Amino acid sequence: MGLSLLSIVSKSNFRILKPKLLGNYIRTNKELVCPRYMSNYLRKIPVVTSKKYNIAVQKELSAINKLILRYKHSQKNENDGKNSDDPRNAMMIKIMMAIFTVYITVYIISMLLPNASNPEDMRYVSWNEFVHLMLAKGEVEEIIARPDLDIVTVRLHEGAIIKGRKIDQRTYHMNIADLERFEQKLREAETKLGIKPGHGVPVVYDRSLNAPELILFLILTGLLALAYFGRSKGASKSPISLDMFSQIKRAKYTLIDPLIGQGKGVRFKDVAGLKEAKQEVMEFVDYLKRPDHYKNLGAKVPKGALLLGPPGCGKTMLAKAVATESNVPFLSMNGSEFIEMIGGLGAARVRDLFKEGRKRSPCIIYIDEIDAIGRKRSSSGPEGGGDEGEQTLNQLLVEMDGIGSKEGVLMLASTNRADILDKALLRPGRFDRHILIDLPTLEERKEIFEQHLKIKLEKEPKHYSQKMAHLTPGFSGADIANVCNEAALHAARNSQKVVLEADLDYAVERVVGGTEKRSHAISPDEKKIVAYHEAGHALIGWLLPTTDALLKVTIVPRTNAALGFAQYTPTERYLLSKQALFEKMCLGLGGRVAESIVFNSITTGAQNDLDKVTKIANSQIRQYGMNDKVGLLSFPEDTKNSIRPYSNKLAALMETEVSRLVSDAYFNTEKLLKENYNKLELIAEELLRKESINYEEMVKLIGPPPNGEKRAVEVYEFNTPVDTKNTHSSKN
Q: 248 vs 61, 339, 352, CA distance in Å?
A: 37, 12, 11
* Integer Cα distance of 171 and 153 in angstroms: 7
Q: CA nearest 440: which of 279, 316, 317, 313?
A: 313
Candidates 534, 583, 595, 686; catalytic one: 534
Contact by Cβ (8 Å): 182, 127: no
CA distance 694 to 685: 15
Q: Where are the beta strands (DSSP E) in 36-192?
A: 140-146, 151-156, 161-162, 165-166, 171-175
Q: In terms of Cα–Cα distance, which of 103, 115, 154 is closest to 131?
A: 154
Contact 603, 532 (CB under 8 A): no
- Are 272 and 279 spatial neighbours (Cβ–Cβ below 8 Å)? no
104/111 Cα distance (integer angstroms): 11
- Residue 452 to residue 461: CA distance in whole angstroms: 9
> Between the CA of residue 550 and those of 21, 172, 440, 695, 713, what are the distances in Å?
68, 71, 22, 6, 12
Measure the CA–CA gap between 535 and 532, rounded to whole angstroms: 5
CA dihedral 64, 59, 280, 308 (to 10 degrees): 50
Asked if the peptide bond before residue 362 counts as cis, ω within 30 degrees of 0, the response is: yes
- Give, for 487, the enclosing helix (H) or strand (E): helix 477-493
What lies within 8 Å, CB to CB, of 661 at 6+ separation is 582, 585, 617, 620, 621, 627
Catalytic residue status for 460: no
Q: Which residues are catalytic?
A: 534
